[in-house]
Amino acid sequence: MEQMNIIEQLKTLKYIKPSEEFAFLSKQAILQTSRRRAFDFSFFFRPLYVGGFASVFAFLLALSFILPKSQEQVYASLDLKDLTSELDDVTISVQLREVEYNKSIETTIASALKEISSDEAKHLNPSLLQEEKGDVNEIDDVSQQIDKLLQEVLQ
């Protein structure tokens, strides 16, 4: 068989055609499928948007020069390390106050106990207290006399 004859035989495969029904349905189904579209970066390069983006960028750049300190403060207040160290300082100062209070209480209690136990604490001496009570009773008698006189005056 000649080569040309073989090629002619091969060309008979051209008679193979898809059915029209398949062609129609397949095409419709494909074209109705939503297409995954890559992001169109050309959007950013439209003249109007280029001007807009440039203005915003320039404004932000100017702000960064004008307000460097305030920005640093803002950033510092948002910094996690700074916040943690600040919190540690607060805790330490609270603990120091507690230690100082406990120390003063202990001193007061100790001195009170010392006074009670020693003879020098005269104001706690029973005989002295008895004398003071007598003075108070005398004052009460005087007061009663005054009250009586006042009532008579009023009558």
Partner 1 sequence: MQEEELVQKAKKGDAQAFGKLYDLHMPAIYRFALVKVSNKTDAEDITHQVFLKAWKHIEEYKFQGFPFTSWLYRIAQNAIIDFYRTSRTHQDIDALPEIALSSHLGLDDRVDKAVQVQLVMSAISRLDETGQNVLLMKFVNELSNKEIAEALEKSEGAIRVIQHRALKQLKQLFEHHGTDEHYRTTKDA
Positions touching partner 1 (CB under 8 A) are 1, 3, 5-7, 9-20, 22-23, 26-27, 29-31, 33, 35-38
Q: Report the residue number, 26 or 117, with the smaller CB distance to partner 1.
A: 26
Instruction: Name which of 108, 131, 127, 130 is nearest 119 in CA terms.
Output: 127
Torsion of CA 81, 87, 91, 96, to 10 degrees: 80
Nearest approach in angstroms of CB 41 to partner 1 is 12
For CA atoms 34, 39, 40, 44, the dihedral sign is positive
Between 10 and 60, CB nearer to partner 1: 10
Q: Is the Cβ of residue 4 or residue 90 nearer to partner 1 in the bound state? A: 4
For partner 1, the closer CB: 22 or 65: 22
Query: Shortest distance, CB of residue 27 to partner 1, whole angstroms?
Result: 5
The CA–CA distances, whole Å, from 6 to 2, 9, 15, 82 equal: 7, 5, 16, 85
